[in-house]
Amino acid sequence: MIRTEKLTLDLTLTLPAIPDERDSCVRRLTELLEAKGLERVHLVREDGTARLCLHYDPERFTVTQVRELALAAGAPFSRRYCHENLRLDGMDCSTCADVVEHALGRMDGVLEASVSYATERLRLEYDAERTSSAAIVQRLRALGYAVIEEGREPGWWTKHRELILSLVAGALLLGGWLLGFTAAPTVLPLSLFIAAYATGGFFTFRDAWQSIRAGRFDIDTLMVVAAAGAAALGKWAEGALLLFLFGLGHALERIAMDRARKAIEALAELAPKTALVLRDGAEVEVRVEVLLRGDHVVVKPGQRIPADGVLVSGNSAVDQAPVTGESMPVDKQLGDVVYAGTVNGEGAIVIEVTRLARESTLAHMVDLVTEAQTQKSPTQRFTERFERAFVPAVLIGTTLLIAVPPLLGFPFSESFYRAMAALVAASPCALAIASPAAVLAGVARAARGGVLIKGGAPLESLGMITAIAFDKTGTITCGKPALTDAVACDGTEEELLRVAAAVENRSAHPLARAVVEAAYARGLRLPETSELESVTGQGLRATVEGKVVEIGNRRLFEPQALPENVERDLQRLEAEGKTTMVVRVGGRFLGVLALADTPRDNMEHILPALHRIGVRKTIMLTGDNERVGRAIGERVGLDEVRSELLPEDKVKAVNELLRRYRMVAMVGDGVNDAPALASATVGIAMGGAGTDVALETADVVLMADDLGRLPFAVALSRAARRVIRQNLWVSLGVVAILIPATLSGITGIGPAVLVHEGSTVMVVLNALRLLGFVEERR
Q: 313 φ, ψ to 5°?
A: -155, 140
Mean pLDDT value of segment 580-588:
88
Beta bridge partners of 114: 123
Between 463 and 59, name the one with better pLDDT.
463
Rounded Cα gap, residues 362 and 268, in angstroms = 8
Bigger pLDDT: 248 vs 176? 176
Confidence of residue 51 (pLDDT cuts 50, 70, 90): confident
Quick one: CA dihedral 284, 289, 292, 294, positive or negative?
A: positive
Of 692, 691, 688, 690, the closest CA to residue 704 belongs to: 688
Lowest mean pLDDT among 210-214, 387-391, 456-460, 690-694: 690-694
Task: Provide CB contacts within 8 A for 326, sequence distance 6+.
Answer: 320, 450, 704, 706
**pLDDT tens column, 675-710:** 788 788 998 988 765 555 556 667 888 887 788 889
Beta strand pairing call for 539-544 and 547-552: antiparallel
pLDDT of 718 above 90: yes
pLDDT at 118: 65
pLDDT digits (tens, 9 = 90+) for 2-38: 567 888 887 777 777 676 666 777 888 888 888 888 8
pLDDT digits (tens, 9 = 90+) for 79-100: 788 888 788 877 766 677 777 8
| Mean pLDDT for the stretch of residues 440-457 | 85
- What mean pLDDT is predicted for residues 350-375? 76
pLDDT band for 392, please (50, 70, 90 cuts).
confident
Tens of pLDDT, residues 401-425: 888 888 888 888 888 888 888 888 8
User: 471-489, pLDDT tens digit by residue?
Assistant: 887 788 887 788 888 999 8
pLDDT in tens, 126-164: 888 889 888 998 888 888 788 887 666 677 777 788 889
Active site residues: 471
CA angle, corner 42, sides to 55 and 123, nearest 5?
150
| pLDDT at residue 612 in the model | 92
pLDDT at site 289: 86
Do 515 and 497 form a contact (C-beta atoms < 8 A)?
yes
Task: Supply the pTM of this predicted model.
Answer: 0.73
Residue 775 has pLDDT above 80, yes or no: no
pLDDT, tens only, 159-198:
788 889 989 999 999 999 999 888 888 899 999 999 999 9
Band of pLDDT at residue 370, cut at 50, 70 and 90: low
For residue 431, the Cα-to-chain-centroid distance in whole angstroms is: 24
- pLDDT score for 92: 67
d(CA 469, CA 640) in angstroms, rounded, equals 9
- The 10 Å CB-count burial string (b at 16+, else e) for 522-551 is eebebeebeeeeeeeebbbbbebeeeebbb
